[in-house]
Structure 1
C-alpha cells in the first residue's frame, strides 16, 4: 500500500501519529459541523477497524488542511451497493485553510489515490446531505454521478454519489465555454484535458430546458471515458453558468442509436421511446 501521493500543491498521505495533534486542532464552523464530524471524533474508530483507512491532506508547508476516511466493504443504510466498494467518509477541510480550493483538488485527484490504496476495488461511493449544495457541486465537478436520493437520512434528505474506479477515468477533464458561443443561439462547451481541446458539447437553451444538440470527442480520445465524464460534469457546469434551468434533454434518433448506453450510464432517464427516436432527460435541481 502506498503512503502518499502528491497532486499539484497538495499531498494526500495515509494517517501517521505525527498528525494527531494537528487533527485535534482541526476546526469546522457550526454549519459544517451539521454535515461532517471532526477528525478527532472519528479517527480512533478508523484506526481500530481493518476496513477503514484514515488519510490527511497536506499543503506545501506541511499543514494538515484536510481529512477523510476510506471505508472498504461499507454499506450505507438504505442503499444497495456492491460488496467490493469503497466509501469516502468524514471528508472535511480545516476551516483555517478553506477558500484555497483544497477540497476541489482533493476530490479531483481522489480516484487516482483510492486506486493506489485499494487497487482491487472498482466502485467508489459517498453520501452527502442534499442541502449541502456546495459539496455536491464539487463531487459532480470531479466526475461523480448522482445515483440516488434518500428522503430520510440521519440528518434529513441525502444524495448518493458514485464513481467507477476504472483506469479509463479522466480526472483532468475540464468544461469551458468556447468563444464560438458568441456567434449564435447554440452554446459550445469545449472539453479540455490538460488544456488540450479533445471535443465539445453543443447546447441550446429553450425556456427552463437545455437541449444537447451535439456531443463529439476526437477519435484519439474516445476510449478513455471523456464523453461520460463530460455528461457527469454537465449538471454542475449548467448550474454555475445558467439561470432557471431545471432539465437537460437530448433526443437520439434510431432505435439502436449507439449513444443510448452513454446517456443511461450518465444518469439520464428515458422519457419518450418510439421506433424512430428516444428522449432522455436529466433533472439538475433537487
Structure 2
C-alpha cells in the first residue's frame, strides 16, 4: 500500500537519504538539488510503502512503512511554463529510490496521486508535467496511468526536449 504525505522538517532527513538511480540523474537531479528548490509554492511529497507481513518486523519503527520515493507539486507551475494554465498543478522530480525500483511502486503512486491532489488542492483542474523524450519508461508509466500527451514539446529542459503531459483531475 502507498501513502503520500507532505515532507516536514522532521522527515526531511529521510528524504535526503533517498538515492536516485545514476541513469536517472540527468532527468531528475540529485536529492540535494531537488530539495534546494522546495518551499513556498513548491511542495515536497514523500512516498511511503507499507511492508508486506513478512517484512513488518523489520520496519516496526515506522508501523511497517518504508520511505520509497519522492516528488514535488508546484502550485505556480504556470509562472515558469507558458504552456501551463493557472489552474494547473505541476508534477516534478518524481523518483522511486534506486533500491525499490521494479516493484510496481511507480504505478501505485500514479494510482494514489489523483485522490491525494484533489483532497489537498481542489482549486487545480489538471496535473501537468514534462518528461524527457529520452525517458521512455517514465513516459510509458504516465500514459498507462491516465496522463494525456499534448503532442507538444517543452524545449527548456536541462537534459533536452520534453513531452508535455497532463492528467485531468475533475
Measured against the shorter chain, the TM-score band is 0.7 to 0.9
The structure 1 residue matched to 2:47, chosen from 47, 53, 57, is 57
Query: Which residue does the alignment assign to 1:24?
Result: 16
Structure number with higher strand proportion: 1
Aligned counterparts, 1:177-188, within 5 A: none
Count of equivalent residues: 156
1:123-159 deviations in Å (ceiling 9; x for gaps): 2101100111100111011100001332733221210
Aligned counterparts, 1:147-162, within 5 A: 147-150=150-153, 152-154=155-157, 155-162=159-166
The structure 2 residue matched to 1:46, chosen from 16, 31, 38, is 38
The structure 2 residue matched to 1:103, chosen from 93, 103, 106, is 106
Aligned counterparts, 1:122-133, within 5 A: 122-133=125-136
Q: RMSD value over aligned CA atoms? A: 1.8
State how far apart, in whole Å, the 1-side matches of 2:65 and 2:9 are: 15
Structure number with higher helix proportion: 2
Structure 1 residues 137 and 165, CA gap change in structure 2 (3 angstroms): same
- RCO higher in structure (CA 8 A, sep ≥6): 2
Aligned residue for 1:27, secondary structure, equals coil
Work out which of the two has the higher radius of gyration on C-alpha atoms and give 1 or 2: 1
Is the CA contact 1:67–1:90 (under 8 Å) kept in the aligned structure 2? yes
Is the CA contact 2:132–2:161 (under 8 Å) kept in the aligned structure 1? yes
